[in-house]
Structure 1
Amino acid sequence: MNEIGLITPTTLAFCSAFLFAVGVQVQNLGLKYGHNRLGALISILGSTVFYWLLSPLFLQTWYWMTSAVLIFAVIGLFRPFLSANFALAAVRYLGPTLTSTLASTSPLFAVLFAILILGESLTLTVFIATLAIVIAVGILTQRGETKGAWPTWALLLPIGAAAVRALGHAMTKLGLNTVPDPLFAGLVSYTVSLAIALITMFSKDQRIYRDAKWSPGLLWFFAGGVVNGISIWSLNTALNLGSVITVVPIVSLSPIFTFLLGFLIFRRETFTFRIILAMLLVVPGVILIAIAD
């Protein structure tokens, strides 16, 4: 496949964005049954189980003796746990519209970290394409639901969430430079994330688990976690083969795929001028990045 150019960082990034959107829709099915907080844990569990089931196929002893283990573990400490909490706090203070708009700046932070940490270079073409995608995602996430007043410091919450996610991408690439195994990166990060989630939730409110009852929603959360795990595998593979600067803007297109799935399959979305404008910005942006890649 590689010889005929089908498996490229761009196509893998597209796959990751699409799968992440699928994961969002699958977990949304689980939300119909409740278990909001428990669902987040079950989702991370699904991703972690997926990687450990595959581990006999890729895991090598020498992986554990490298600095990459520490890098991937640190990523697991703050993503998705810290970034998700920043995002939730931002919604509470700022509302979903402003939060989503500011969070869509993640590719710009990814460019910054890629230059500072990895020494990657940014061309004018890729910068313009990245900016177009960021604007498009910002337009797409506008829902017209803003809060009348909010503290200025709260703006740091969604920006912090975006920066944390972007830092995770750059650090993943850094670790892959030592151990070029995308599955190992996911295995370590998700295992640490699961441990953090368990410790945090048990310390906050053990009734979540004591009062939890079986429902089909738990299966949806688990399935969504598996899909997210595959999405991260695809993302890590794209980062392993390509650069952060060209991969992350493509991955940030997941809201576009989420909308398309909601419109075509789940019948929860409708086309508007805002959607068309976002698409008109996304298509040339993606083409420019694909050409640069």
Structure 2
Amino acid sequence: MSTFPHAAIVYALASAFLFALTNHFQSLGLMGSDARTGSLINIATGAVFYWLLAPFVVESWYWFTWGTVLFAMVGIIRPSLSSLLAIQSIHVMGPTLTSALTASAPIFGALFAITLLGETLDFKTAIGIAAVIAGGVVASYSRQGLVRDWPLWAIVLPVGAAFIRASGHAVTKLGLEDVPSASFAVLVSNTVSLAIAGAAFRIEGRPISGTPKSFKWFVASGLSAAVSLHFLNSALQIGDLVSVVPVVSATPVFTMLLGLFVFRRERFSWRMLVTISLVVPGVMLVAMK
């Protein structure tokens, strides 16, 4: 248990807010570009940001530890793959539904605990999982039935991103027990992800497409995501995984509020509101286990 549980909660809330801001920045960038370009710029921005900070936050012994290996393993799938899935989901489904469905990350965390650690599935956890599933059904419903302005398979995008993030959180926490530096964890993970994303671009022969304005939004999203990951890792370092990740799931609430009061660019339907109302409490119930 953390000696400063309230600090962990504050860090997690700050991370949730910045993740929501990242979603909106990415959505604006996608108006003039594509998901792969956005993901590459996002990851590159975060990597450059932390390399600039490295002389002030990294100690030489960090590099020769098991923690560095774990951070690198996380970087293979996050943020390169998780960011690509999330950005593509924002492009197809919009930032609010994406945030709501990626809030299912603690569900996967609970499943990891049950299957790998031998924990039991209690009533609250079962109700929480059911609420998240119900949220996905509501997101697909309209007066004409299951008619959407996005394809049903698109649910795989945010849920896949949530699965990757949940596994990444668990491995990152293990690494932080060996190397207690939230910034170093982001530095290593983003650097590995950048190498993978850059190699994929080169192999596929893809051009970096977009407008200068879209690039600026992607850079902004990269900075926001980078700082958000720092707060998240700081929370994981001093708090428990089951307590931190559900608080980060407040992201869809922040996304909705930012979209309504700041960006004023997304239409909110009853489906979105009900989805958020089901998913967020459902995740919280899972965390109460």
Same fold (TM over 0.5): yes
Quick one: distance in 2 between partners of 1:262 and 1:164?
Answer: 26
Partner of 2:264: 267
After TM superposition, list the pairs within 5 Å mapping 1:178-257 onto structure 2: 178-206=178-206, 208-209=207-208, 212=209, 215-257=212-254
**2:144 match:** none
Q: CA deviation at 1:49?
A: 1.4
Task: Check conservation: 1:133, 1:249, Cα contact below 8 A.
Answer: no
Structure 1 gaps of 5+ residues are none
Equivalence for 2:71: 72
Deviates more, 1:162-171 or 1:265-274: 265-274
For 1:177, what is the secondary structure of its paired residue? helix
Q: Deviations over 1:34-69 (max 9, x none)?
A: 354322211111111121122122101111111011
Residue 107 of structure 1 and its aligned partner are, at CA, apart by 1.4
Cα separation, partners in 2 of 1:169 and 1:225, compared to 1, 3 Å: same
Contact 1:77 1:193 in 2 (8 A): yes
SS at match of 1:8: helix
Alpha-carbon shift at residue 90 of structure 1 (Å): 8.7
The alpha-carbon distance between structure 1 residues 21 and 237, as it changes in their structure 2 partners (threshold 3 A), is same
Following the alignment from structure 1 to structure 2, what is the Cα–Cα distance between the partners of residues 73 and 267? 38
After TM superposition, the score normalised by the length of structure 1 is: 0.76
Contact 1:41 1:198 in 2 (8 A): yes
TM-aligned CA deviation for residue 240 of structure 1: 0.8
The DSSP-based 3-state class of the residue aligned with 1:268 is coil
Pick closer, same or farther for the CA change 1:146–1:218 going to 2, 3 Å.
Answer: closer
Q: Provide closer, same or farther for how the CA distance between residues 133 and 55 of structure 1 changes in structure 2, counting only shifts above 3 A.
A: farther
Deviation by residue 1:183-239 (Cα, 9 ceiling, x = unmatched): 111010000001101000111024x04xx5761221221111010000111111111
Aligned to 1:174: 174
Aligned residues: 280
Which region of structure 1 is more displaced relative to structure 2, 57-66 or 213-222? Answer: 213-222
- Cα gap change, 1:181/1:246 in structure 2, threshold over 3 Å: closer, same or farther? same
SS of 2:178's equivalent in the other structure is: coil
Aligned mates of 1:284, 1:228 — CA distance in 2: 24
* Corresponding position of 1:145: 148
**Are 1:173 and 1:239, in contact at CA under 8 Å, matched by a contact in 2?**
yes
* Distance in 2 (alpha carbons) for counterparts of 1:179 and 1:245: 21
Separation of aligned partners in 1, 2:235 and 2:220: 23
Residue type matched to 2:202 in 1? Answer: F
Question: How do 1:1-293 residues align onto structure 2 when only pairs under 5 Å count?
Answer: 7-34=6-33, 36-84=35-83, 96=93, 104-114=103-113, 127=125, 131=129, 134=132, 138=136, 141-142=139-140, 144-145=147-148, 160-206=160-206, 208-209=207-208, 212=209, 215-274=212-271, 276-277=273-274
For residues 142 and 155 of structure 1, the distance between their equivalents in structure 2, rounded to whole angstroms, comes to: 9
Contact 2:177 2:237 in 1 (8 A): yes
8 A contact 1:76–1:192 mirrored in 2: yes
| CA–CA distance in structure 1, aligned partners of residues 175 and 71 of structure 2 | 7
> Aligned letter for 2:230?
W
Cα shift at 1:257: 1.5
Q: CA separation in 2, counterparts of 1:16 and 1:29?
A: 20
Q: Between the two proteins, what is the percent identity of the paired residues?
A: 40
TM-superposed CA distance for 1:256, in Å, is 2.2
Residues of 1 paired with 2:166 and 2:20: CA distance?
18
Contact 1:128–1:285 (Cα < 8 Å) also in 2: no
Contact residue 32 and residue 210 of structure 2 kept, 8 A: no
**Cα 1:192–1:137, aligned 2, differ >3 Å: closer, same or farther?**
farther
Q: What are structure 2's unaligned runs of at least 5 residues?
A: 142-146
